Amino acid sequence: MDEHNRRRLLGTLLAAPFAAAAANAMAASPSGGKPAGSLSTAQRLDVLESKDAIAWLLNAYARANDRADEALLRSLFWPESTHKHGKFEGKSSDFVGFAFKIVSALHYACHHITNISIEVKGDHAFSECYYFAQHRRDRKDGPGEEDVFFQGRYLDDLERRNGVWKIIRRRGLSDYTSPPIASETPQSSWPAGQHSEKAPSDDYYKMLAEFRAR
């Protein structure tokens, strides 16, 4: 067998598992259990639109924390939504108040949402996502600032009411918190106008309003 044929054979063997996985993923239910082929076009479109709306919601949670946007943060949960994260267990509205005191006092925050997985069943959905976050805050053991990094997951039950998806129950899992890392460059020394700010002064709000006004 010449070198060209050996490469083709090797490529075929390596590609086979990925092809099988792709086929299984296409056949898997977008709505949690039923084969995709058993759903009507309208049902499949509804599932796709629902997943898009839920993914937007999960990412909006990160933006609301980073921009200290309390109104956006509260808008993501139904009034009776419950929350369990760390030592907190109670209503999501109370957790928002607790969390907002923390993020609003930070010099800088950056939350990343990844590995989003969503199952939709009518007006109900379940999602999992991973988060990774950085908090820049005043040092707790002396002058100056420090960075702390976090990672974990959010598990959410969601409901759709009058076409709107919101979280009805959240379970937050904290898998890692870094030791505080002293910063050599305080946030006050960052060049003005070149970094992210909080709501409503961050450029996101200005540019979004301009876009919507077109």
pLDDT of residue 4: 45
The residue among 39 and 34 whose pLDDT is bigger is: 39
- The answer on pLDDT for 200 being more than 90 is yes
**Confidence tier at 32 by pLDDT (50, 70, 90):** low
pLDDT of residue 37: 66
Structural class in CATH, domain 38-212? alpha beta
Per-residue model confidence as pLDDT tens digits over 84-122: 999 999 999 999 999 999 999 999 999 999 999 999 999
* Contact yes or no for 33/47 (Cβ under 8 A): no
- The answer on pLDDT for 23 being more than 60 is no
**What's the chain's average pLDDT?**
87
- The answer on pLDDT for 194 being more than 90 is no
Q: What is the pTM assigned to this prediction? A: 0.81
- The answer on pLDDT for 180 being more than 60 is yes
- The answer on pLDDT for 10 being more than 80 is no
